[in-house]
């Protein structure tokens, strides 16, 4: 993981920036909103917009703000209590942001999202259009998960993941994650004095993932491992990601100015399309099919999935559902959009394509999943 290029080269032509701010950055040790730090973050974002950058803010802090307002010291375990705190705290959070941004003549817009906005293709494209409309009007979108109403089924889970999904949604050039640590270390710097900060990561392999351990603070939900997973997602869509310490909000500008701080995760040269990014990370899978070795080989070579290669089908889904495709060893090898329902696939599995119409009485396509609608897991 040696530094392969200068940051000036890696981060050239940056235009669209997502900034993720976590609860630990926005709140003090008692869980109260740190107004001075929030003001400094607003100054940084305002300055970036004045310089011509498009900036999107993914902000945690609603639950933490609610805890502070209600003087609750420990994050509750009951979902209903978390949702109540989020609803109370989100109002305060946005009020503070609006007050600060208004001082710098900036307009903001709030977007509260769930997994549903990323799972449903139409809703996904709608949110993408809304974000672009904000940016066209020089309005700063402030995005958070809609914790007040979201169920576990539709929960993204943490704003590190949310920020990576947003980066893919709006084709960001750079994602900056403000953390309570300087970046990724080769070992825990709180335990080991000889821990070294890793400046640049070009390949997120198992060694890199193993370096990320431990959970977040009592007020937050994330940890270094969620940031590494976010980096893995973001770099595959073509977004550079930097994890940097949020204690000094001026680090935002330092990253954009290409100073050598934090850990830079370098985007892939061959990015996947936004549609395949959505298939890989954004959507909820409706079911699964298991395929034989011949079909697996065909899929890995970029071909479509034929009914003859399907051994079994699980769960109930309609035509257009997104499926996990597993091999005979039960390993997920791809995701794809099905041309047929689960009931239809049950009838045509193991059969030749020319027999589909005879079996079903109709035929949508010769293939169950077209290659254009398949994303290989090993390629994302």
- Mapping DSSP to helix (H, G, I), strand (E, B) and coil, where does residue 54 land? strand
**Residue 24 contacts residue 220 (beta carbons within 8 Å):** yes
User: Is 99 known as a binding-site position?
Assistant: no
User: Is 159 known as a binding-site position?
Assistant: yes
- In degrees and rounded to multiples of 5, residue 113 shows phi and psi of -115, 160
Give the dihedral sign, CA 189/17/107/161.
Answer: negative
Q: Would you list the DSSP string of 276-345?
A: HHIIIIISPP-EEEEE-HHHHHHHHTTPPBPGGGEEEEES---TT-EEEEE-TTS-EEEEEE-SS-HHHH
CA distance 360 to 157: 41
- Is residue 285 exposed (0-12), middle (13-18) or buried (19+ Cβ within 10 Å)? middle
User: Is 239 known as a binding-site position?
Assistant: no
User: Is 225 known as a binding-site position?
Assistant: yes
User: Is 221 known as a binding-site position?
Assistant: yes
Q: At what angle do helices 224-237 and 159-169 cross, to 10 degrees?
A: 10
Q: What is the CA 119 to chain-centroid distance, rounded? A: 12
- In degrees and rounded to multiples of 5, residue 336 shows phi and psi of -160, 160
Torsion angle defined by CA atoms of residues 22, 28, 34 and 36, in that order, rounded to the nearest 10 degrees: -110
Q: How far does the chain reach from its first CA to its final CA, in angstroms?
A: 20
The count of residues in the chain is 380
User: Is 226 known as a binding-site position?
Assistant: yes
User: Is 235 known as a binding-site position?
Assistant: no
**Residue 60 contacts residue 144 (beta carbons within 8 Å):** yes
User: Is 312 known as a binding-site position?
Assistant: no
Q: Which residue has the tokens 């989020």?
A: 86
User: Is 103 known as a binding-site position?
Assistant: no
User: Is 214 known as a binding-site position?
Assistant: no
User: Is 60 known as a binding-site position?
Assistant: yes
**Residues within the annotated binding site?**
20, 60, 147, 159, 179-180, 221-227
**Residues within the annotated binding site for ATP?**
20, 179-180, 221-227
**Residues within the annotated binding site for substrate?**
60, 147, 159
């Amino acid at each position: 993981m040696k530094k392969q290029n200068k940051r000036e080269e890696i981060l050239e032509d940056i235009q669209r920036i997502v900034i993720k701010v976590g609860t630990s950055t926005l709140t003090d040790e008692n869980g109260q909103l740190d107004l001075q730090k929030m003001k400094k973050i607003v100054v940084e974002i305002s300055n970036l917009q004045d310089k011509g950058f498009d900036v999107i803010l993914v902000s945690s802090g609603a639950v933490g703000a609610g805890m502070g307002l209600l003087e609750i010291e420990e994050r509750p375990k009951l979902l209903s209590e978390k949702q109540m705190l989020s609803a109370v705290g989100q109002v305060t959070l946005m009020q503070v942001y609006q007050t600060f941004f208004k001082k710098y003549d900036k307009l903001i817009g709030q977007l509260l999202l769930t997994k549903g906005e990323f799972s449903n293709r139409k809703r996904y494209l709608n949110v993408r259009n809304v974000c672009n409309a904000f940016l066209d009007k020089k309005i700063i979108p402030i995005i958070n998960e809609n914790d007040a109403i979201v169920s576990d089924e539709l929960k993204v889970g943490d704003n590190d993941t949310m920020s990576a999904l947003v980066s893919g949604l709006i084709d960001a050039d750079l994602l900056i994650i403000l953390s309570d640590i300087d970046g990724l270390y080769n070992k825990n710097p709180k335990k080991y004095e000889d821990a070294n900060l890793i400046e640049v990561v070009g390949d997120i392999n198992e060694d890199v993932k193993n370096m990320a351990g431990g959970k977040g603070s009592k007020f937050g939900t994330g940890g270094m491992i969620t940031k590494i997973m976010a980096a893995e997602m973001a770099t595959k869509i073509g977004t550079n990601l930097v994890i940097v310490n949020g204690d000094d909000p001026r680090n935002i500008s330092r990253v954009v100015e290409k100073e050598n701080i934090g850990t830079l995760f370098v985007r892939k040269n061959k990015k996947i399309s936004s549609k395949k990014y959505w298939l890989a990370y954004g959507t909820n899978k409706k079911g699964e099919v298991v395929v034989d070795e011949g079909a697996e080989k065909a899929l890995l070579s970029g071909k479509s999935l034929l009914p003859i290669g399907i051994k079994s089908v699980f769960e109930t889904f309609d035509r257009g559902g997104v499926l996990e495709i597993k091999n005979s060893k039960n390993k997920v090898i791809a995701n794809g959009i099905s041309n047929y329902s689960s009931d239809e696939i049950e009838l045509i599995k193991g059969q030749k394509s020319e027999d589909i119409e005879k079996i079903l009485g109709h035929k949508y396509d010769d293939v169950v999943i077209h290659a254009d609608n398949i994303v290989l897991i090993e390629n994302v």
